[in-house]
Amino acid sequence: TQTSRYIFEEPKESPTSKHKEVELLIDKRETLAGLKKKLEPLVECPSELFRIYRVYCNNQEIENTRLQDTLSAFMDDTKVLVKYGRALRKGECQIKVFMLSCEDPEEPFRYVFDWIVHKGMSVRECKELLHPELQQRYGFNCPVDQ
């Protein structure tokens, strides 16, 4: 048994603090999948919708993706970060979407959101999927073929 700290990012809708910290006792023989199941009530969402990152002493975050691996590599007092968002499947990658604004010289582009694309997806297919999201969130109405 070991002691580990888990930091949870609060959902963006939460008016409270950005994260909460919980200290738990875990068994090093447990798998990552088992740990995620135990964290579900604390995170308040299914294990498929959050990812676990191990935080090293230099604040480097490395995602733990192999659900069958045991936690034996975790040292005592290991810090673990839980982030909302599903794990990427084979052939997927995550991109950052930015909005370009020629009118604002101080901020010519701004971060909008993260998006998941599939290997082999064309730019047009990606734009067709992004368009409804941009309309809903920002009222951005631009033809897909531009």
**C-beta contacts of 91-96 below 8 A and 24+ residues apart:** 91/118, 91/119, 91/120, 92/116, 92/117, 92/118, 92/119, 93/117, 93/119
- Mean predicted confidence (pLDDT) in 40-68: 87
Quote the pLDDT of residue 17: 52
**Alpha-carbon distance 90 to 60, whole Å?**
24
Is residue 126 packed enough to be buried (19+ CB in 10 Å), middle (13-18) or exposed (0-12)?
Answer: middle
9: pLDDT strictly greater than 70: no
Quote the pLDDT of residue 100: 82
20: pLDDT strictly greater than 80: no
Quote the pLDDT of residue 18: 64
> Domains in the chain and their CATH numbers?
3-84 (3.10.20.90), 92-138 (no CATH)
The 10 Å Cβ neighbour count of residue 36 is 19
For 83-135, how does the pLDDT look when each residue is reduced to its tens digit (9 = 90+)? 888 778 889 888 888 888 778 778 888 888 888 898 999 988 988 888 888 88
3: pLDDT strictly greater than 60: no
10: pLDDT strictly greater than 50: no
Quote the pLDDT of residue 11: 45
